[in-house]
């Protein structure tokens, strides 16, 4: 199945741009980022603290497959309802550094919207480490697409 998410990670830059179109009104898309019960559901994390206001902070805790608790935290730098959120995000006790996240929400129609998620890391090296993380963790990913390309190219 074609992925609806696009990822741009240009060589030598310390940022990643993630874009995605949703079959959701922009108000609902925005809500998914601002209400703790909803965040718990889609991010699969426990929300320990979530103070969604300018200069408010948040804390999440997620269990890894071995049952260890991994903490995350960040601060809401600024936001504009249904348009923009600027926040920091950090995985605790890990060498991945803190990241600046700029979310832009855009209404496409009554029932569709687009999210642009720009993530800026401390350095190019931190960016590359974060980019490789899902690969290293061996998350189930579609080999199908690559295999399809390779089969067709034979």
Partner 1 sequence: MKLRRDVFQAIADPTRRTIISLVALQALTPTAIAENFDYSRQTISKHIQILTECEILEQEQKGREIYYHLNPNGMKEIAEFIEPFRKLWDDRFNKLESVMKNYQSKK
Residues 114-133 interacting with partner 1 (rule: CB under 8 A) = 115, 131-133
Q: What's the closest the beta carbon of residue 18 comes to partner 1, in angstroms?
A: 6
Q: Which stretch binds partner 1 (CB under 8 A): 52-60, 77-85, 100-108, 145-153?
A: 145-153
Nearer CB in complex with partner 1: 29/85: 29
Kindly report the CA angle at 106 between 102 and 109, in degrees rounded to 5? 165
Draw the binding track, 80-119, toward partner 1 (x: CB under 8 A; -: no contact): -----------------------------------x----
Pairing mode of beta strands 57-63, 69-80: antiparallel
Q: Which stretch binds partner 1 (CB under 8 A): 37-45, 63-71, 75-83, 88-96?
A: 37-45
What is the edge-to-edge ordering of all strands in the sheet holding 46-50?
A: 5-8, 15-22, 112-120, 98-109, 84-91, 69-80, 57-63, 46-50
- Regarding 49 and contact with partner 1 (CB under 8 A), the answer is no
Dihedral angle of Cα 10, 126, 88, 4, to the nearest 10 degrees: 40
- Regarding 53 and contact with partner 1 (CB under 8 A), the answer is no
């Amino acid at each position: 199945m074609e992925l609806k998410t696009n990822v741009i990670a240009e060589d030598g830059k310390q940022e990643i741009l993630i874009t995605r179109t949703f079959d959701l009104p922009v108000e609902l898309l925005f809500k998914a980022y601002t209400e703790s019960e909803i965040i718990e559901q889609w991010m699969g994390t426990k929300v320990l603290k979530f103070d969604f206001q300018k200069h408010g902070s948040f804390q999440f805790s997620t269990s890894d497959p071995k049952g260890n608790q991994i903490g995350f935290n960040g601060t809401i730098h600024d936001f504009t309802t249904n348009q923009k959120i600027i926040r920091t995000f950090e995985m605790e006790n890990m060498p991945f550094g803190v990241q600046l996240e700029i979310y832009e929400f855009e209404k496409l129609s009554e029932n569709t919207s687009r999210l642009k998620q720009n993530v800026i890391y401390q350095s190019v090296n931190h960016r590359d480490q974060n980019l490789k993380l899902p690969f290293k963790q061996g998350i189930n990913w579609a080999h199908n697409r690559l295999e399809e390309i390779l089969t067709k190219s034979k």
